[in-house]
């Protein structure tokens, strides 16, 4: 007489599953999911149930229910919200089975609290990804790609050997995103550079800076009056977009002639090699987006051998409780002390010296004739 084969599902587990009324509707729901989401969900559910079975039937030492924390986190990173809900049901089922077989004390209050916190965290991650319409870590990869594009856009175009340039960007709190950015273009001997400051700092201003950098970069070199076109664009936007200031430099590399226009931005300063002093530009204008018709008072001149222009944002000279003119005087003093020994090598040191003690976005552009 042949012996009957051992059942695939342990009798105690089969009896336990029979008391779960939502099991059949859940199975039907899983069949309606997309193939990728369904495959991962089935794999995670199987692992979850196996952990519960092996913990209760084999060894709690090797198959601890704390392994379900890793499964839940993986589900939060990869699954859609509805699929995650099914996985969390499977996790609760696994823990309930372990508690029913080995006693509730085998699970413990500490593990239940940790699992509850992990489930909430996974739910928030899945909901955020659901709003973006991405899976896994693709949302983070998109932000990194946008950050890299913003950095590449802030690089100045290659200049002839008789010219030098340096860009220094420093974001508040060490963030990869900030409200200050630079856009530039070169066509033959004609160079245009714009330094823009979006209100706010750090990540809060970074999203607007990412959007505006693409818009302003497209306008630069494509319109006759750059700042007026930027003002028209911002004035059309609905809602409170905050303040945007900018300074625009056009430079002829063959003659050294330049023109500066400013919209509510800190003044450009020029180093005169003949006298060894820095002169503050007289260019001024209204903040972008405030009035429909922007009027700017430009400043122009010529860069000769040894001369330099320095464009910067207010984060370099603005400090809490101090007048902005005092910050500008301090910048000119630091520039006289540091920059004559080398514009390229001392530009970052100048930024570090000016921003020590306060946390704000800042940008600095130096362009000179050696």
Q: Which of 103, 158, 115, 162 is nearest to 368 (CA)?
A: 162
pTM value is: 0.69
Amino acid 194: pLDDT: 93
Residue ranges for the chain with pLDDT beneath 50: 1-2, 6, 8, 22-23
Distance CA 118, CA 43 (A): 19
Query: Which two structure tokens, joined as six digits, stand for 286?
Result: 């209204």
Phi/psi region, residue 283 (left: phi>0; alpha: psi -120 to 50; beta: rest), is beta
Residue 311 confidence (pLDDT): 92
**What is the reported pLDDT for 176?**
62
Rounded-to-integer distance, Cα 66 and Cα 48, Å: 11
The pLDDT of residue 268 is 92
């Amino acid at each position: 007489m042949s012996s009957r084969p051992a059942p695939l599902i342990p009798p105690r587990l089969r009896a336990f599953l029979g008391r779960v009324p939502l099991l059949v509707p859940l199975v039907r729901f899983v069949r309606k999911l997309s193939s990728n989401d369904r495959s991962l969900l089935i794999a995670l559910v199987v692992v979850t149930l196996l952990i519960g079975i092996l913990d209760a039937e084999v060894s709690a030492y090797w198959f601890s229910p704390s392994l379900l924390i890793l499964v839940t986190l993986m589900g939060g990173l990869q699954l859609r919200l509805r699929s995650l809900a099914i996985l969390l049901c499977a996790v609760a089922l696994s823990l309930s089975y372990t508690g029913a077989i080995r006693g509730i004390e085998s699970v413990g209050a500490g593990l239940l609290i940790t699992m509850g916190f992990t489930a909430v965290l996974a739910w928030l991650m899945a909901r955020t990804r659901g709003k973006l319409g991405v899976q896994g870590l693709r949302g983070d990869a998109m932000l990194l790609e946008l950050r890299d594009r913003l950095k590449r856009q802030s690089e100045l175009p290659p200049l002839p050997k008789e010219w030098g340039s340096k860009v220094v960007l420093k974001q508040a709190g060490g963030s990869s995103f900030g409200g200050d950015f630079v856009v530039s273009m070169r066509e033959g001997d004609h160079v245009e550079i714009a330094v823009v400051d979006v209100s706010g700092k750090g990540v809060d201003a970074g999203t607007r800076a990412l959007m505006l950098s693409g818009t302003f970069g497209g306008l630069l070199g494509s319109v006759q009056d750059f700042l007026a076109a930027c003002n028209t664009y911002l004035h059309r936007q609905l809602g409170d977009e905050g303040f945007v200031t900018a300074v625009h430099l056009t430079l002829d590399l063959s003659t050294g002639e330049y023109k500066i226009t400013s919209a509510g931005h800190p003044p450009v300063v020029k180093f005169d090699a003949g006298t060894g002093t820095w002169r503050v530009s007289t260019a001024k204008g209204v903040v972008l987006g405030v009035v429909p018709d922007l009027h700017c008072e430009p400043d122009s001149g010529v860069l000769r051998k040894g001369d330099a222009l320095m464009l910067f944002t207010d984060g370099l000279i603005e400090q809490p409780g101090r007048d902005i003119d005092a910050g500008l005087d301090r910048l000119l003093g630091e520039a006289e002390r540091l920059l004559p020994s080398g514009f390229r090598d001392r530009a970052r040191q100048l930024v570090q010296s000016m921003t020590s003690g306060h946390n704000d976005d800042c940008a600095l552009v130096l362009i000179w004739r050696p």
